[in-house]
Structure formats: structure tokens, C-alpha cells
């Protein structure tokens, strides 16, 4: 769009909103429209402040006060009486109108980060939508035609989301592959990182976690920052090296992190540069048309109101139908085609996760949008199409990734000690672990199936069928510190047929939610039943699992069986009482674990991978993923969730031979297989302390 035309549209919408604030309002939604118009009008002032780079001129207290005013409706202390809250909006406006208007209010909050990036077209579209809704409401508010009001409000919102796919979806694809969109890169590389006001240049809400993390990283010696960045970037490089992929044909790396880690990111950008890779850094937060059902990917701030996020997680139910999906996929394909050169040069993501946030169980609200059964099926089909489309332009067999995690201050007063311990956990020497893990793998390769039994109150009782192998082949991968940091696990894709039993863990933290007494029943490798004790009502627990762990699939296969060997990480968790706050990435290394969903080798089954002993890893598929050859749409689920049982809840892990004899790897939380004893040393030290 010609910039002059866009500016004219913006000015007209802005002027009309100014008038709207002062106009007498009709009906129950008058307060809503006054607040919404006032917020959108305030974006003009924000645009002016951004132009002046206010974060470099104001003192910290003034900046924080201004940010609080911008984000006020979402902040926890104001949320219960905010139209951002679907329950509150529905109590004022009725269910159908209330949650539609709540959706629009939540969508308009994206105007804040858009203002920082100068994305005037998206802001203008929001303003025009609000004016359209105001006009429709005023037309029907004093009539008896409520159904017509609801219909026209719905159509205005639907076409806003659908029509602007050309802008929102195309921009979303571009920002994930194009390094010339360097908004965040400039913040990292050009800011004075000793002046914490730089954090406010992003436009994300900045809380104590971001400020204290940035301050803590500033306090670390340069060599510690270099150590962190080296582990992170070398893991990425090894991901290419170990799978035989050529990193030299790639020019870009997708860097994803939580705000506050810029000092480490700056060091990493320089190290990636030595590999010939330029950074692609994009915002995690995005519009409703692009919003994922799970976690955001990109650069993010800590979630300052998890209930708000949960309330709007499935807002797409308002507009998600076959026509929208067809249109969005078409726009995505056009966007990838436009940026296919950049997409082909992208090497994959390098991710920094954070952990330490308090466990959260969302309130179940009837006012929140939920995907219908037909929409759930459409969503699963859509996800598969998106994955196939992405793979067509960002070739999976040519890309890799790495992921590493660090704590944030919310973890508690021991944050500095936990952070330094995490650096150590992420940087352990690989040689001893490689040898001990190989001993376990050799035993598994002689067996027919494995048994896992819980201890005490843990009800786990699993039989895991092992993949058939020939001479020179192996079932388990000897996993060290490459793409998946920290080191410390052996893992395989089990045979589904005859894999059965119960997986249980007393407490586990998955995707931001803490599950109490999570139980999965497995039959022939598939999840047949599930429960948790987060709610007094069992059905609410099932719903939580169905949405957040099964991702609306009626069932998922067991995609992985593994034993974590990083006993130092386990001891860190026990010492600081943070087991329920560790991310999956670290938690999976602290005990045996099972993953539901795709195998670890999804979409890469044909690649040849070898362990350090030279044996070829052949357990790369199961009965479900084999369908890729005949029915690709049924072979993958687009998810993989590790569920770890800590050592102290394990009575025994053993391998059963073809003759029925049995040999143990772990008994009562200790490694008993000869050659693995050193893994107990840190466990014994912890027990004696």
C-alpha cells in the first residue's frame, strides 16, 4: 500500500475515534467502546514516544509507569474487571457479544508492539474494525434484532481476520526467515546493555524477571557469558555435524530467547557469525490469525498474566472454518514462494528456554472460546498442512536446531546459585557419560523388552517392547550435549504393539502447567485413558490433558522411551526444591521418561545416524510413523511431550532377555549396572548432606 494512502486512512480513523470518545453512548457496550477508543487513540502518543526513543531519555520509574498504563487492562490486579477478561465482558454484555468484544479487545493489545515496530497498517486495521463494530452496534442496540446484531458483529470480525491475512500472515512468514527485518537484532547488537532501559525498546511488558535477569547477566564475568554462548552455539553446530548435514549451505539462524538474555545473545550472534550465519530474530507475540495453540516461539517476555493467555488461547474458534484455513494456507504458500530464497538459507532455530515460573492451573471458564469437535479435526488437518508447507521451503533434511535452558529470578532467592549450577549442568564433560550410557545401550540391545516399575506411591508399571535389530545396529541413541542441552540420556522409539501399562508421576511441570498425579494408561503403545488431580472434578482434569498434552488428538502413541542420566541436574532440582519448575528439556535428563506424540526422528526416519561406537541407530520409527510411506497424513501428530519419572519414584528399570532372564539398570533410584556406578556419586553426596 502507498504510504500516503495508509497515512490518510490512519488519520481518518484516528480522528473518528477521538470524536467517538466524547459521544454519548447507547446501550450496555458504551463503556466498552469508550475504553477501546481511548486505548487506540493513546497509540498515537506511543508512536510519537517511540519516534523519540523515549526509553533512552526517561528515567526507569517514568518508563515503568508508562508501560503500566499501556498494559493496565491485562495486568493481574486489574484483569477481573477488564473487558480483556471474557467472563467480565460477558457479565456486562451477554455471552455472545461479550466474548466477541473481549476477543477484539485482546487483539487490539497487539497495537503496542506494532507501534514499536512502526507497523501502521495493522494498527489502522484495528482502528477501522473498532469503528465498524461501533457503527453496527449503534444501528441495532435499540432494536429487537439481537440475532442480526450478533450476525453482523461476527461477520465484521471474521472478515477483519480473514481479509488481513494478506498482511498478518505474510508478515509472520517473512519475519521468521528474513534477516533484513532486524528490529530485535539492532536492540541486541547496538544497545548499551549495561543500561537496563534497553529492555523497553521491544514493546513487550517488562517485569521483575526480565530486569533482574539482565542485571544478573551483567554481573557475570565475560568468560561465563562466553561459556554459556559457546555451549549454545556449539550445540547448534554439532546438530549439523552429527547428522551429516552441511551447515555451509545455510546463511541464517533463527534465534529465540526470553528478554533479559541479550548479553548472552550478543555473544552468540558473534559466534554464529564465525560459522557464516546471520541472525533472524522475531517477536513471539502475534495476532489472532497466527496465534499458536501452544507456546509462543520467538523472543518473549515472561507471561505476566497466565489467566489472560489461557482465556484467549482458543479465540480462533470464533473464525476458524474451512474457508479461513484455505485462505490462510494460500497466503502462507504465496509468502513462502516470495521468500523462498531466504527460507532455503535458514538453518533452523537456536532456542533459549527459561524456567522457574510458579506452577499455574488455569481457571476453567464457560465464557472462553473452545474449539468444537469439527474445529478440532480441522485444526489437526491444518497443522499437518502447515508442517508440510514449511518443509517444502525450509527443508527438514537440511536443517537442525539446538535448545538450552536457564532459570529466571522468579525461581526464588537461590536464583544466582541455581543459575550458576545450571551453567555447570549445561557444560558437563561428555566422555564419562558417553561410556556409561553405552553400557546401558549394549544391555538394551541384547534384550527383548524393558520393564519400568514405580516405587512407593508411584503407580508406574510399564512393559516397553524393543525394536528388532541385526548385527552392527543399535536401538538407543547415545545422547550427549549437541542439539538437546544438557547432556545425559539414552532414548529409543519403542515398538507400539505389546507396549502397555501405566505411566504415573506425582508432580510434573509441562508447558507452563503443573500436573498433580498425572496418570496415563497405555495399550499397544497408545494412550487409552488419562487423568490428573488438579481439580476436584475429574472431567476438568481430563479436559486439561486433552487440550494441553494430547492437543485435541483422541489418542497419541508412545513416541519415545528413555533413561535420563544427568544425576547432577537431578541433585540440583532436589537441593533447591525446584523439580516441579524444571523445563522438560532438563527434567527429561533427570530420570526415565516417556514421550507421547511423534518419535524423536519424525520426518527424518530415512537419515542415517550412528552412535559414537559406530553402530547404526535403526529404531527410528514405529507402527504409526511407518504410515508416512502410504498415508502421510496419518503418520505424524506435530507434538512430542516428555513425561519424566524422577529417580526417587523408581523401584526398578530392567531389561528382559529372550530367554526370560532379567538384568537391572536402576534399582530403588540408583544405577546398578556395572559401568554406570559413577552416576550415583552425586546422588550419594546429596543423600549424605
Per-residue pLDDT tens over the stretch 128-164: 999 999 999 999 988 878 889 999 999 999 999 999 9
- For the chain, give the mean pLDDT: 93
Residue 241, phi then psi, degrees to nearest 5: -60, -45
DSSP state of 324: H
- pLDDT above 80: residue 293: no
Quick check: 625 pLDDT over 80? yes
> According to the model, what pLDDT value does residue 687 have?
59
Q: What is the pLDDT of residues 429-487, one digit of tens each?
A: 888 899 999 999 999 999 999 999 999 999 999 999 999 999 999 999 998 867 889 99
Write down the pLDDT at residue 686: 67
How far, in Å, CA of 137 to CA of 143, rounded?
10
pLDDT, residue 390, reads 92
C-alpha cell at 518: 498425572
Q: Is the pLDDT of residue 38 over 70?
A: yes
HEC letters along 88-128: HHHHHHCHHHHHHHHHHHHHHCCHHHHHHHCCHHHHHHHHH
pTM score, whole prediction: 0.88
Contact (CB, 8 A) for 590 and 573: yes
Average pLDDT over residues 42-59: 97
Residue 295, Cβ neighbours under 10 Å: how many? 12
- Looking at the chain, the whole-number percentage of residues with pLDDT higher than 90 is 79
Neighbouring residues of 146: CB distance < 8 A, sequence distance ≥ 6: 140
- Non-local CB neighbours of 251 within 8 Å, separated by 6+ positions: 276, 277, 278, 345, 347
| 370 CB neighbour count, 10 Å cutoff | 13
Residue 545 is predicted with a pLDDT of: 93
pLDDT value of residue 482: 74
* b/e 408-443 (16+ beta carbons within 10 angstroms → b): bbbbeeebeebbebbbebbbbebeebbebbbebbeb
Burial of 498-515, coded b for 16+ CB within 10 Å and e otherwise, reads ebbbbbbbbbbbbebbbb
pLDDT score of 688 more than 60:
no
Give pLDDT, residue 431. 86
Confidence of residue 291 (pLDDT cuts 50, 70, 90): confident
Per-residue pLDDT of 650-676, as tens digits, reads 999 999 999 999 999 999 999 999 999
Residues 6 or more apart whose Cβ sits within 8 Å of residue 271: 229, 230, 233
Dump strand ranges (E) for 178-285. Answer: 252-256, 278-280
pLDDT over 70, % of the chain: 99
8-state DSSP, 164: T
The pLDDT value given to residue 389: 93
Whole-number pLDDT of residue 94: 95
424 phi and psi angles, rounded to 5 deg: -65, -45
- pLDDT confidence bin for 689, thresholds 50/70/90: low
- Rounded to whole angstroms, the Cα distance separating 98 from 102 reads 6
Contact 401, 232 (CB under 8 A): no
Amino acid at each position: 500500500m502507498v504510504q500516503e494512502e495508509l497515512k490518510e486512512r490512519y488519520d481518518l480513523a484516528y480522528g473518528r475515534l477521538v470524536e467517538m470518545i466524547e459521544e454519548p453512548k447507547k446501550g450496555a457496550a458504551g463503556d466498552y467502546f469508550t475504553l477501546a477508543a481511548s486505548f487506540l487513540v493513546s497509540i498515537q502518543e506511543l508512536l510519537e514516544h517511540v519516534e523519540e526513543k523515549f526509553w533512552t531519555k526517561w528515567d526507569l520509574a517514568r518508563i515503568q509507569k508508562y508501560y503500566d498504563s499501556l498494559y493496565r487492562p491485562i495486568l493481574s490486579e486489574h484483569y477481573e474487571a477488564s473487558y480483556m477478561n471474557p467472563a467480565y465482558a460477558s457479565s456486562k454484555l451477554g455471552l455472545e457479544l461479550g466474548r466477541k468484544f473481549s476477543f477484539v479487545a485482546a487483539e487490539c493489545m497487539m497495537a503496542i508492539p506494532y507501534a514499536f515496530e512502526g507497523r501502521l497498517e495493522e494498527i489502522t486495521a484495528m482502528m477501522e474494525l473498532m469503528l465498524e463494530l461501533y457503527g453496527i452496534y449503534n444501528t441495532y442496540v435499540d432494536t429487537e434484532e439481537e440475532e442480526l446484531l450478533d450476525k453482523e458483529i461476527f461477520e465484521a470480525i471474521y472478515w477483519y481476520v480473514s481479509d488481513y491475512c494478506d498482511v498478518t500472515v505474510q508478515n509472520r512468514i517473512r519475519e521468521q526467515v528474513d534477516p533484513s527485518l532486524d528490529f530485535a537484532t539492532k536492540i541486541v547488537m547496538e544497545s548499551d546493555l549495561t543500561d537496563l532501559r534497553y529492555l523497553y525498546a521491544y514493546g513487550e511488558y517488562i517485569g521483575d524477571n526480565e530486569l533482574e535477569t539482565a542485571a544478573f547477566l551483567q554481573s557475570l564475568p565475560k568468560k561465563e557469558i562466553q561459556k554459556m554462548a559457546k555451549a549454545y552455539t556449539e550445540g547448534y553446530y554439532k546438530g549439523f555435524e552429527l547428522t551429516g548435514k552441511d551447515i555451509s549451505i545455510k546463511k541464517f539462524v533463527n534465534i529465540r530467547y526470553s528478554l533479559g538474555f541479550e548479553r548472552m545473545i550478543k555473544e552468540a550472534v558473534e559466534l554464529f557469525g564465525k560459522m557464516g550465519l546471520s541472525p533472524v530474530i522475531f517477536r513471539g507475540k502475534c495476532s489472532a490469525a497466527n496465534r499458536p495453540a501452544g507456546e509462543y516461539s520467538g523472543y518473549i517476555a515472561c507471561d505476566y498474566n497466565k489467566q489472560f493467555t489461557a482465556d484467549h488461547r482458543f479465540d480462533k474458534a470464533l473464525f476458524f472454518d474451512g474457508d479461513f484455513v484455505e485462505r490462510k494456507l494460500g497466503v502462507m504458500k504465496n509468502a513462502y514462494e516470495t521468500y523462498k530464497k531466504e527460507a532455503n538459507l535458514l538453518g533452523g532455530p537456536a532456542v533459549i528456554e527459561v524456567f522457574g515460573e510458579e506452577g499455574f492451573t488455569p481457571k476453567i471458564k464457560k465464557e472462553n472460546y473452545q474449539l468444537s469437535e469439527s474445529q478440532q479435526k480441522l485444526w489437526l488437518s491444518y497443522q499437518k498442512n502447515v508442517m508440510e508447507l514449511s518443509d517444502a521451503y525450509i527443508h527438514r533434511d537440511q536443517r537442525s536446531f539446538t535448545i538450552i535452558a536457564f532459570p529466571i529470578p522468579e525461581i526464588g532467592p537461590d536464583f544466582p546459585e541455581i543459575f550458576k549450577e545450571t551453567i555447570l549442568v549445561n557444560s558437563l564433560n561428555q566422555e564419562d557419560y558417553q561410556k556409561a550410557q553405552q553400557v546401558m545401550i549394549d544391555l538394551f540391545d541384547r534384550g527383548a523388552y524393558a520393564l519400568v516399575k514405580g516405587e512407593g506411591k508411584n503407580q508406574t508399571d510399564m512393559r516397553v517392547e524393543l525394536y528388532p535389530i541385526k548385527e552392527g545396529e543399535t536401538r538407543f541413541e547415545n545422547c550427549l550435549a549437541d542439539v538437546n542441552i544438557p547432556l545425559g540420556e539414552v532414548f529409543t522409539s519403542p515398538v507400539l504393539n505389546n507396549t502397555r501399562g501405566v505411566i504415573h508421576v506425582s508432580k510434573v511441570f509441562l508447558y507452563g502447567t503443573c500436573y498433580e498425579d498425572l496418570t496415563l494408561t497405555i495399550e499397544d503403545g497408545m494412550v487409552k485413558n488419562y487423568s490428573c488431580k488438579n481439580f476436584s472434578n475429574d472431567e476438568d482434569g481430563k479436559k486439561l490433558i486433552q487440550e494441553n498434552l494430547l492437543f485435541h488428538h483422541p489418542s497419541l502413541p508412545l513416541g519415545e522411551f528413555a533413561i535420563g542420566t544427568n544425576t547432577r541436574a537431578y541433585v540440583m532440582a532436589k537441593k533447591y526444591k525446584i523439580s516441579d519448575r524444571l523445563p522438560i528439556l532438563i527434567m527429561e535428563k533427570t530420570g526415565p521418561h516417556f514421550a507421547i506424540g511423534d518419535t524423536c526422528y519424525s520426518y527424518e526416519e530415512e537419515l542415517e545416524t550412528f552412535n559414537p561406537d559406530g553402530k547404526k541407530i535403526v529404531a527410528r520409527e514405529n507402527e504409526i510413523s511407518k504410515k508416512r510411506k502410504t498415508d502421510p497424513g496419518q503418520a505424524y501428530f506435530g507434538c512430542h511431550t516428555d513425561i519424566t519419572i524422577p529417580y526417587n519414584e523408581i523401584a526398578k528399570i530392567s531389561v528382559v532377555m529372550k530367554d526370560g532372564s532379567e538384568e537391572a539398570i536402576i534399582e530403588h533410584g540408583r544405577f546398578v549396572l556395572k559401568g554406570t556406578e559413577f552416576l550415583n556419586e552425586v546422588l550419594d553426596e546429596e543423600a549424605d548432606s
